[in-house]
Amino acid sequence: MMELFGKYLRTVDSWWTSRVIAHSRLPQVAAVIPTLGYIILWSDKFGELLQSSKLNISFSPYRLHFIWWGAILLLIGLLLYWSNCPRSVKRGASAEDYIAVQLALYDDPRLSTILKPRVKAFLDRHTGTDPNEILLGSLTRNRLTRAAGDMLQDPTRADLLRFEWEDDNRSSPFMRRKTALFMIVGTLVFLIPSFEVTLRVLATFLPHTTKLEELTDKSPEFPSPGSYNRENLSHLLSDKRGNPYRCSEILHNNRNILEKKNSANQPITSSILVQLAAATALGCDASKDRWP
């Protein structure tokens, strides 16, 4: 298990991670977001066109902030990727892809130019820089370099191209990790509104009771038709101490609560609906602030 986890980390900690995001459609979408943001800020009518009444989804400022900053972080990561990622990784998503594309184009002189810097880079990572440094027994760095070069003098072209891609894929650790951080964080922030919309769409398919069902099923105290009078509804129109609410309090307060809950897509308690229904049934006149 730990071996598989270590292999996964080695795969993720490479230029390949940034390449997956950079060569997807997401950066193309993110590139137009800054312009779209300015349009929305300059035109309120454009924002209204992006509202969905069925799902109660509005293009609110906080969603715009997620999309905006996600796009900015993603574009910064994309700039770092195209500026610093080795060409071999850009050209192939894997060593096999790179070999398939480049094998027919590379002749022996071109392959020899790959060999020397790869051997030097390998020795630099595992040894010092002094050419006369004693590394193993009486062997100096120069002798090891020549030995490694002799060992790789006659590789197959595919093996050498694979060696080039894999070596480039793990080059520049600091820059590749910084690039991956910008691109991964930017992608996650950019997609937060999409996750929210997805959850709301899924919620529409879940079984749930309607507001009318809540009113009839969960409110046994709701009066039956024809029984509306001040006496049998007084307990609904008074506070806990028995003091009656003013007519305007019933209508204004509960309607404000309804509007806020509806705009926030929150469930509405049956007690609010009962009070409004009772006040309306008794002919409450909010303009005169009195009971009939």
Q: What is the pLDDT of residue 197?
A: 74
Cα 278 to Cα 282: distance, rounded to the nearest angstrom: 6
- Residues β-bridged to residue 194: none
Give the C-alpha separation, 120 to 124, whole Å: 6
What is the per-residue pLDDT for 79?
92
**Residue 136, beta-bridge partner list:** 139
Alpha-carbon gap, residue 26 to 29, rounded angstroms? 5
Identify the pLDDT of residue 13. Answer: 81
68 pLDDT tier (thresholds 50, 70, 90): confident
Higher pLDDT, 36 or 227: 36
Which range is most confident: 89-98, 157-166, 196-205?
89-98
What is the pLDDT, as a whole number, of residue 93? Answer: 84
**Over residues 14-41, mean pLDDT:** 79
| Out of 89-93, 223-227, 241-245, 283-287, least confident range | 223-227
- DSSP structure string for 215-277: HHHS-TTSPPTT---TTTTGGGSB-TTSPBPPHHIIIIIHHHHHHHHHHTTPPPPHHHHHHHH
Residue 149 has pLDDT above 70, yes or no: no
pLDDT at res. 163: 82
pLDDT digits (tens, 9 = 90+) for 192-216: 887 887 787 777 776 554 443 443 3
What per-residue confidence (pLDDT) applies to 278?
59
pLDDT of residue 218: 44
Average pLDDT over residues 172-178: 90
- Checking phi first, is residue 72 left (phi over 0); if not, alpha (psi -120 to 50) or beta? alpha
Question: What are 27's two structure tokens?
Answer: 């950066």
What average pLDDT does this structure show over 78-83?
92
* Cα 11 versus chain centre, distance: 21
Distance CA 82, CA 261 (A): 47
Give mean pLDDT, residues 150-173.
75
H-only helix segments in the chain: 2-12, 15-22, 26-31, 33-42, 44-49, 61-84, 87-91, 95-102, 108-126, 141-151, 157-169, 173-203, 211-217, 247-248, 254-263, 270-281
Q: Tell me what pLDDT residue 282 has.
A: 55
pLDDT tens-digit series, residues 221-263: 444 444 444 454 555 555 555 555 555 565 556 666 656 666 6
Number of CB atoms found within 10 A of residue 212's CB: 9
8 A C-beta contact, residue 172 and residue 10: no
Residue 80 banded pLDDT, cuts 50, 70, 90: very high
Query: What pLDDT does 82 receive?
Result: 92
Asked whether the predicted pLDDT for residue 45 surpasses 50, the reply is: yes
* CA pseudo-torsion sign 158, 163, 168, 169: positive
Helix (H, G, I), strand (E, B) or coil at 157: helix
Burial of 237 (0-12, 13-18, 19+ CB in 10 A): buried
pLDDT at 113 over 90: no
Strand 134-136 with 139-140, pairing: antiparallel
By mean pLDDT, which of 1-15, 106-120, 209-223 is the weakest? 209-223
